[in-house]
Amino acid sequence: MATIKDIAERLGISVSTVSKGLNGASDISESLRQEVLDTAVELGYTTKQMRGKVPRKLCIFVENMEYETPEQFGYDIILGFRQRAARENYEVTVIPASPSLQSTEKYDTYMLKNGFVGAFLLGFALQDEWMTQFHSTAIPTVLFDNNIKKNHTVSYIGTDSFEGIDDAIEHLASLGHRRIGLINGSRDSFICEQRRQAYIDSMSARNLPFSEDTMPYGYFVPEAASPHVGNLLSMGITAILCGNDLIASGAIEECTLRGLRVPEDISIIGFDDIPLAANLKPSLTTIRQDRIELGKCGFFTLHSLINHVSISRTLLRPELIVRNSTGPIHP
Amino acid sequence: MATIKDIAERLGISVSTVSKGLNGASDISESLRQEVLDTAVELGYTTKQMRGKVPRKLCIFVENMEYETPEQFGYDIILGFRQRAARENYEVTVIPASPSLQSTEKYDTYMLKNGFVGAFLLGFALQDEWMTQFHSTAIPTVLFDNNIKKNHTVSYIGTDSFEGIDDAIEHLASLGHRRIGLINGSRDSFICEQRRQAYIDSMSARNLPFSEDTMPYGYFVPEAASPHVGNLLSMGITAILCGNDLIASGAIEECTLRGLRVPEDISIIGFDDIPLAANLKPSLTTIRQDRIELGKCGFFTLHSLINHVSISRTLLRPELIVRNSTGPIHP
């Protein structure tokens, strides 16, 4: 359990200032007070005052996504969500939603039985058992990267894949690349369908060649790259977009094993900008998702649904981070 | 200028309770206090305390949209926006953005010169002069019903037209209608393009017949209906979707003039659910947009942009309100 001293050290301020922030004293700024509270939430510190209230309970279900450490994709999303939730006096529980949990208990039953008033769901695949139940649930539910039509208590939040993929292809085209491949994530994923369509749209709009073979599906792990890299290279591909940064790291490794230099011989782009991306050799050009903000927007949207405001979707803008894994096409 | 008594009368509570709400007393509930403050904003009442702070300035530009009275489309959008803005200590100015204003002054120049830190824009048409400037503005800007790609300081908010149109066509199809027309709003409008595409998608998905002639463009006024109604009827159309409630009111009038009964001979559906809709004869089935919530979401999104959170779009869900202007197809 964290102490006041931990918070003070993290923020580089005095223990007495932290104490003022936690106790709502009037002689520190509102923004500093909020930073103290956000850090308290992050470190797991609670005051008697915070514990004294009766919070409403929310949960975050996670499936197919790593989130335990700051290096992992889901960590910041959950952190951003929890920070905002704490401000509104919600208590948040993170629950792995394994297929066996989903098959033993219906979603609504689980929520009601455990007293949760709303849920944020991360990493669900199209074939997950609960997915069909979201069409008819009456419980406020926000899905990251999944879209359920016409149910007024369910929302979709995510990053605009169409803009992200288009930014990446525009960047590669400006470097002279015409033969661009996409090693996608899982076939069983709404967001991968979106990115595939975005790739088709952007390649078509620039009269660049593509086919079923230039956009294979894989999975969100480094090992997913190698089976496809050889195939794409044999088709004359000079640049590869990847479904996430992990796949991109695998693609760089596979190219290196084959004696190719990145970016001199082949350019590679990731998706997400997890901490790994900046530390790869070469550092990875990638399409950034702001995961802290995704978490905050996830909370805002869920809070809106709980208050009977039916938001259908909220999309954040991606940002192309250009590093050293992309360069001009090999002459 | 409104008085405390006006607020008390509007809410049906005592003057002393209003006073407590305005002065932040601790012995009234937070929700009642917020209601008092929201009503104060609506009626234009300000306390010395409210006036004492130095607010940041926002503006709402309105073009091609009526907003002066509660019966008009823009009124509630602006009200919802202003209520939320007041909570965060912003001052809001509503400015008609005529073509002449747009041609005499660039958008950024106008904003900077007048000290506005952000803007919410209602009713802009695709050919409005400022629209091209939004691609490169660096000023936080939220557009209602208009989408600007790739600019991180500009957001789009609106209602999901695809779900709304699909709900309406599903409703008509369930009543046996197959020949369904769309009298759209203006040709020069992003949202009308969306609704046209939504109509095409929904008709196609149900194998219902449509052509260029069944989806004419008009304008957002009652008079726009009459030139198209005769044409649609001659094609055997038995139900008409309209681009807004005003067009629908004109369509009902034109059908009545032609001796047709609504809904016995022809079904008619509007869009928006402005107060007029429930009072038409017959009362109008329509696709509801929650305009207060649109205003609130507009503010939330603008506030996010000002705080460097780049939301690309936020869409609310529409709701089909079934009244008496739709019925089973004439046998």
In chain A, % helix, strand, coil (3-state, to 5) comes to 45, 20, 40
Please give the order of strands across the beta sheet that includes B319-321: B180-183, B239-242, B267-272, B285-288, B319-321
Quick one: pLDDT at residue A123? 95
CB contact under 8 A, B152 and A297: no
Q: The complex's ipTM?
A: 0.78
For A149, the closest of B163, B297, B316 (CB atoms) is B163
CB contact under 8 A, B152 and A317: yes
User: What is the least distance, in Å, from the CA of A131 to any CA of chain B?
Assistant: 19
Chosen from A310, A319, A320, A321 to mutate, greatest number of chain B CBs within 10 A: A310
Cis preceding linkage at A263, omega within 30: yes
List all residues 6 or more positions away from B132 whose beta carbon is below 8 Å from its beta carbon.
none
**Nearest Cα residue to B288 out of B279, B277, B299:** B277
Task: Check if A314 contacts B (Cβ < 8 Å).
Answer: yes
Contacts B149 to A, Cβ<8 Å: 163
Q: Is the pTM of this model over 0.90?
A: no
A267-272 and A239-242 as β-strands: parallel, antiparallel, unpaired? parallel
Task: Check if A290 contacts B (Cβ < 8 Å).
Answer: yes
Q: Which residue of A has its CA nearest to B301?
A: A314
Task: Check if B53 contacts A (Cβ < 8 Å).
Answer: no
For A310, the closest of B149, B309, B317 (CB atoms) is B317
Enumerate residue ranges in chain B where pLDDT < 50. none
CB contact under 8 A, A290 and B300: no
Contacts B153 to A, Cβ<8 Å: none
Q: Which residue of B has its CA nearest to A152?
A: B317
User: What is the least distance, in Å, from the CA of B64 to any CA of chain A?
Assistant: 26
Chosen from A148, A162, A294, A312 to mutate, greatest number of chain B CBs within 10 A: A312
Give the Cα separation of A299 and A36 in Å (integer): 20
Quick one: pLDDT at residue A301? 94
CB contact under 8 A, A163 and B149: yes
In chain B, % helix, strand, coil (3-state, to 5) comes to 45, 20, 40
CB contact under 8 A, B316 and A296: no
Distances (CA, A) of A306 to A91, A146, A315, B99, B292: 14, 19, 19, 41, 17
Contacts B315 to A, Cβ<8 Å: 311-314
Question: Tens-of-pLDDT digits for all 331 residues of chain A?
Answer: 688 888 888 888 888 888 888 877 778 887 888 888 888 877 877 666 555 567 799 999 999 999 999 999 999 999 999 999 988 889 999 999 999 999 999 999 999 999 999 999 999 999 999 999 999 999 999 999 999 999 999 999 999 999 999 999 999 999 999 999 999 999 999 999 999 999 999 999 999 999 999 999 999 999 999 999 999 999 999 999 999 999 999 999 999 999 999 999 999 999 999 999 999 999 999 999 999 999 999 999 999 999 888 999 999 999 999 999 999 997 7
Give the Cα separation of A248 and A224 in Å (integer): 9
CA A63 to chain CA centroid, Å, is 13
List all residues 6 or more positions away from A207 whose beta carbon is below 8 Å from its beta carbon.
none
B 141-170 residues inside an 8 A Cβ radius of A: 149-150, 152, 160, 163, 166-167
Quick one: pLDDT at residue B1? 67
Chosen from B38, B151, B309 to mutate, greatest number of chain A CBs within 10 A: B309
B154-159 and A267-272 as β-strands: parallel, antiparallel, unpaired? unpaired
Span B241-255, pLDDT tens digits: 999 999 999 999 999
Quick one: pLDDT at residue B48? 60
Quick one: pLDDT at residue B40? 80
Contacts B312 to A, Cβ<8 Å: 160, 163, 315-317
CB contact under 8 A, B310 and A290: yes
A116-122 and A141-144 as β-strands: parallel, antiparallel, unpaired? parallel
Quick one: pLDDT at residue B49? 57
Task: Check if B292 contacts A (Cβ < 8 Å).
Answer: no
Quick one: pLDDT at residue A247? 97
